[in-house]
Amino acid sequence: MGAESGAGAEAGGAEREDPPERAAVLARATLERAGARGQARFAAAREILAFEEYLALVARDPARHTRGAAAYLRDCMDFYGHDEVRGPRGRVRRFRLFDGPTNGGATRVLGQEELQNEVYKHLTAFVERGRVDKLIMLHGPNGTAKSTFVECLLAGLEDYSTRPEGALYRFNWIFSDAADRAALGFHERAPGRDDGSLAYLEPEEITFKLGSELKDHPLLLLPQAERVGLVEEAFAAAGLPCRLSDYLRRGDLCPKSKEIVRALSTAYKGDLRRVLTHVQVERLYVSARYRQAAAVIQPQRNVDAASRPLNLEKSYRLPAMLGQSSLSELSGELVDANRGLVEYSDFFKRPLELSKYLLTTSERGTISLADATAQLDCVFFATANEKNLAIFKRNPDFPSFKARFELVRAPYLLRWSIEEGIYAREVPAIARTKHVAPHTTRVIALWAVLTRLCRPRVKTYKGDLAGLVGKLRPLDKARLYDALQAPEEWPDAERRELQKHVEQLAGELDAAEEEFEGLVDAAYEGRRGASPREVMSFLHEAAQDPQFACLSPLAVLKTLRRETADKSLYEFLRLDPEAGYRDVDRLIDDVEGEWRRLVRDEVHGAVALVEEAAYDQLFEDYFQHVKASEAGEKLRSRITGQLEPANAELMGRVEGLVGISEKPTAFRRSLIQRVAAWAIDHPGQKVDYKAIFGDIFQALRARYHREREQAISQLQTQILRHGTDDWSTVSAADQKKVLAALERLEGRGYCRQCGKEALVYVLRHPGAD
C-alpha cells in the first residue's frame, strides 16, 4: 500500500514538473520560429548589402534606386492610389494617402483635395527641374489640418519605406582587426568573403562602425563621372529616359565620409575597390519618432544644424588609418531630415534670424556650417497661420523669402458633409455616457460652414447669372457647394444655369483682400469663420448641459446661441453681416430651420401609415410612364402583362400632388434632363431618384401629411403618453401604432429620450417653414 502510494507520489511529482518543461519547449520553439521569420524578412528586404551588390540593384532598377527626395515623396503619394471626387470646383483627384491607409484612418485629412493636388504639382515641378529649390508653405486659418497634412505625408513615407517599392539605402563605414595585420583597420581580405567586403562581418568581428548623419546616398561614393555614366547606362538598358536629380548628378559626400574616402585612398594607393570593401549598405527606414529622414522643427530657438569635431571625443577609438583625419559629426533636425521631409511648424513664430539660412538652403540644397558645407536632398515644408503671414508681408525681407516659397492655401472646409466627418469621429468621446441624437454633428457642421461663406460679388457676373447669384442665401450656397443642389423652389432652367457656374462662384474670391481690424489680409472664401477647434469646444459645452439627457441638435443650438452672444470672444463674430452672410444669429436660425425640416420628416414618417418605400415606388412608376410618354413608347402592365400606353391618369395624379407650376410637358422634359445630367456625373451607377428629385419627394410627403395632419398630430400626442401614467388611457389600437412608431424612430438612431424630445419639438412647430 505504501509502495503504491510512493509510486503515485512520484508520478504526481513528474506531472507537476511537466508543465514547466512544456512551457520551456514552447518558449524555445516560439523564439526559433520568430528568429527564422526575422532572418527570412531580413534577407528578403535586402537589409544589408555589399557595395557591389547594391550597384547590381541599381543596374536592375535604376528608376527606383536613383530617386531624389521630391520624386520619392511624389511616388509615395501615387503608391496608395487616388480617387476622383466632386467638389465645388468640379471633379478633383483625392489621394488615398490622406485617408490614413497606413494606420487604420487614425491620421487622415478630410477634404482639402485642392491642397493635395497643389503639393503634388510642386513636387512634380521639383522633379522636372532636378532639385528642390523652394519651400512649400501651407498657410491658412487655425484648424485647417495643415500639420495633419504633413503627418499624413510622414506616416505614408514611414510605411512606404518598408515596402520593396519604397526601398531606400544609406551606408556605414566598417573597420576590423585582421589576423595578418596589427594595426586597426588594415587588412588584406575580410573573413568569410572572397571579394574582401566587410559588409557581412559578425558584430564581434567589427572593431569600428561609423555612419553618416546625413544618410548619404550610396551612389555618392562613386566619382561623379563613373556615377553618372553607370546611371545613364542603366536607364538606357531599361529603355527609360534618364532623369537624375542634381543631388546625385552633382552632389558630394558629407565632409566626414569625404575625409574617410581620402584617408582610405591614401592607405590603399588610390584603389577604390579596396576603399569600398569598408562600405556596408543598409536599408533606410523613414521614422518621424526617431528622426530618420523625417523631422518637425518647432518654433523654439534651436539650432537646426551644427557640426563638431569627432577626433576630440574620447569615447571614439578611431582606426589607425583615420587617426590623422579631421572628422566632423553633423547634428540637428535638418540633418536628421535629410533624404526625406522636414516641416517648420508655425514658421512665422520663429525668430526671423533663425530662418534666414533658408534663403540659400532651400534654393541651393546646401547648408553652410562653421567648418563644413553639407549637401541636402530634402523636401522642405512649413506651416503658417494666415494672420501671421499677412503680418510678415509687411516685413522688408518678405520679397526675398517669397521668392523661395511656394505658397499653398489651406482654407476652412466649405462642404458641411465633409466637415461633419471631423466631429463624427470625436463626438462619442465628447458625449461620454450620453447618447448622441441623430443630426447632431450635421447641425453643427452646417452652422460652421455657413459662418465661412461669403456673399457673392454680383458685379463680377453678367446677364441673368448676376441675378441668380444675387438671390443666393447662405443656406442655398451651402447646399450648392455640398451636393450641387440649387434652390428647389427655382425653375429648372435657373437651377441648371446656376449649377453650370458653381466653379466660377467657388473661385470668385481667390485673389480677394480685405482690411480687417487694421490689417490687410486675404479674403478668400474659407479664410474666416468658425474653426473646427472652436466648434469642438461648443460640442463639449453642449454635452455638459444638464437640461438634455442626450447630446442633441437642440442642445447644440442652445449652446451656439449662448456662446456667440458675446461678439468679442471670437474673430468671426466681429465680421460685418452682409445680406444674411456672416450674420451668426440668423445663421443659427437657418440651421434650426433645416433641422426642423429633417426631424419633421422623420417623425411624420414614423407615425404615418405609408412606408417610405411607397413614395419610392410611386415616383419610379411615374417616371417610367413619363419616359414612355416622351418617347412615344408603350409599357408592359404589371397586372395584364400587355403593352399599354403611358398612364396619363397616374402622371396627372402625381403632378397634382407635387403641385407643379409649369406645363406638364415642360415639367416632364425637365425631369428627363435632370436624370441625363446625373447619369453623366455618375457613369455606371443605378439611378438614385431620391438624390435627383429630393424636391419632388419632399413635396409628395408634405402633401400626404397635410391631408392627414390631424390624425398624425393625434398619434404624436399619444406617443408622448408612453411611459407615463396616462399610457393606460390610450386605446389598444393606438398603443400598437405608438410602439411601431417608437420602433421606427429607434431604427433611425433615436433613443426614447431624444425621440420624445424630437416629438415635442415637432408638435410645437407643426407648420411648414
Q: Which residue has the higher pLDDT, 646 or 641?
A: 646
Quick one: pLDDT at residue 529? 94
User: How sure is the predictor about 189, in pLDDT bands with cuts at 50, 70 and 90?
Assistant: very low
Contact 414, 88 (CB under 8 A): yes
Query: Which of 131-145, 243-257, 440-454, 621-635 shows the lowest per-residue confidence on average (mean pLDDT)?
Result: 621-635
User: How sure is the predictor about 593, in pLDDT bands with cuts at 50, 70 and 90?
Assistant: very high
Euclidean distance between CA atoms 251 and 215, whole angstroms: 13
* Per-residue cell: 247: 543631388
Euclidean distance between CA atoms 484 and 15, whole angstroms: 75
Euclidean distance between CA atoms 49 and 200, whole angstroms: 8
Sign of CA dihedral 134, 140, 146, 149: negative
Quick one: pLDDT at residue 302? 67
Quick one: pLDDT at residue 25? 74
Amino acid at 140: G
User: How sure is the predictor about 186, in pLDDT bands with cuts at 50, 70 and 90?
Assistant: very low
User: How sure is the predictor about 194, in pLDDT bands with cuts at 50, 70 and 90?
Assistant: low
Question: Which DSSP symbol is given to 547?
Answer: T
DSSP assignments along 313-334, one per residue? -TT----GGGTT---EEEESHH
SS3 annotation, 417-449: HHHHHHHHHHHHHHHCCCCECCCHHHHHHHHHH
92-141 pLDDT, tens per residue? 999 999 999 988 888 899 999 999 999 999 999 999 999 999 999 999 99
Contact 153, 97 (CB under 8 A): yes
Contact 31, 207 (CB under 8 A): no
Residue 711 has pLDDT above 90, yes or no: no
DSSP, collapsed to helix, strand or coil, labels residue 285 as coil
Distance of alpha carbon 584 from the chain centroid? 29
Q: What is the pTM of this model?
A: 0.83
Average pLDDT (174-200) is 60
Sign of CA dihedral 569, 575, 577, 581: negative
User: How sure is the predictor about 28, in pLDDT bands with cuts at 50, 70 and 90?
Assistant: confident
Which are the contacts of 425, defined by CB distance < 8 A and separation ≥ 6?
A: none
Quick one: pLDDT at residue 75? 97
The Cβ of residue 322 has, within 10 Å, a number of other Cβ atoms equal to: 25
Quick one: pLDDT at residue 190? 44
Question: Which DSSP symbol is given to 287?
Answer: B
50-84 pLDDT, tens per residue? 999 999 999 999 999 999 999 999 999 999 999 99
Euclidean distance between CA atoms 210 and 37, whole angstroms: 28
Euclidean distance between CA atoms 449 and 143, whole angstroms: 13
Quick one: pLDDT at residue 563? 94
User: How sure is the predictor about 549, in pLDDT bands with cuts at 50, 70 and 90?
Assistant: very high
Euclidean distance between CA atoms 558 and 572, whole angstroms: 19
User: How sure is the predictor about 666, in pLDDT bands with cuts at 50, 70 and 90?
Assistant: confident
Report which of 197, 200, 275 is spatially closest to residue 47, judged by C-alpha positions: 200
Average pLDDT (512-520) is 65
Contact 298, 275 (CB under 8 A): no
User: How sure is the predictor about 7, in pLDDT bands with cuts at 50, 70 and 90?
Assistant: very low
Contact 243, 229 (CB under 8 A): no
Quick one: pLDDT at residue 543? 94
User: How sure is the predictor about 608, in pLDDT bands with cuts at 50, 70 and 90?
Assistant: low
Quick one: pLDDT at residue 301? 60
Residue 5 has pLDDT above 50, yes or no: no
Quick one: pLDDT at residue 92? 92
DSSP assignments along 147-195, one per residue? HHHHHHHHHHHHHHTTSGGG--EEEEEEE---TT--STT--SS-TT-TT
Euclidean distance between CA atoms 363 and 399, whole angstroms: 14
Residue percentage of the chain with pLDDT more than 90: 46
Q: Which residue has the higher pLDDT, 522 or 162?
A: 162
Residue 182 has pLDDT above 50, yes or no: no
Report which of 167, 172, 157, 156 is spatially closest to residue 44, judged by C-alpha positions: 167
Residue 566 has pLDDT above 70, yes or no: yes
Euclidean distance between CA atoms 493 and 499, whole angstroms: 10
The chain-wide mean pLDDT, for the chain, equals 85
Bridge partner list, 138: 383, 408
Consecutive H or E run containing 210:
strand 208-211
396-427 pLDDT, tens per residue? 888 888 888 999 999 999 999 999 999 999 99
Euclidean distance between CA atoms 570 and 505, whole angstroms: 27
Q: Which residue has the higher pLDDT, 173 or 22?
A: 173
Question: Which DSSP symbol is given to 143?
Answer: T
Quick one: pLDDT at residue 40? 62
Quick one: pLDDT at residue 180? 35
User: How sure is the predictor about 14, in pLDDT bands with cuts at 50, 70 and 90?
Assistant: very low
Residue percentage of the chain with pLDDT more than 70: 88
Quick one: pLDDT at residue 9? 45
User: How sure is the predictor about 20, in pLDDT bands with cuts at 50, 70 and 90?
Assistant: confident
* Per-residue cell: 323: 587617426
Q: Which residue has the higher pLDDT, 757 or 723?
A: 757
DSSP, collapsed to helix, strand or coil, labels residue 564 as coil
370-391 pLDDT, tens per residue? 777 888 999 999 999 999 998 8
User: How sure is the predictor about 611, in pLDDT bands with cuts at 50, 70 and 90?
Assistant: low
Amino acid at 281: V
- Identify which of 273-277, 516-520, 646-650 has the greatest average pLDDT: 273-277
Question: Which DSSP symbol is given to 551?
Answer: B
Question: Which DSSP symbol is given to 578?
Answer: B
DSSP, collapsed to helix, strand or coil, labels residue 253 as coil
Distance of alpha carbon 257 from the chain centroid? 39
The Cβ of residue 242 has, within 10 Å, a number of other Cβ atoms equal to: 16
* Per-residue cell: 194: 572572397
